[in-house]
Amino acid sequence: MAQHVAPPTATTPVLPAKLPIGAIVPWAVFFGILMLVLLYFVGAEQGATSVVSGEDVHEWVHDARHLLGFPCH
């Protein structure tokens, strides 16, 4: 069985796309703040540091709180 091999052609090398840092920084800051807010509600939204009155937020994030090792009860 004969196989045909195409001769090499001159092509330009494919370079990986460069991401501009200016396009990444705003999204990194946004998600960083979002993660800090989420970390606050999971880890510190209880008792004296509570922003939302009542136990509703604490109950919603209770399992995540135990999963991440924050003190609870």
- Contacts with Zn ion by CB under 5 A lie at 72-73
Nearest to 41 by CA among 19, 18, 64, 23: 64
How far is it, in rounded angstroms, from Cα 19 to Cα 22? 9
26 or 69: CB nearest Zn ion = 69
Minimum separation from the CB atom of position 72 to Zn ion (A): 3
In angstroms, give the least distance from the CB of 60 to Zn ion.
12
Cβ 25 to Zn ion, closest distance in Å? 37
Encoded tokens for 54: 């009542």
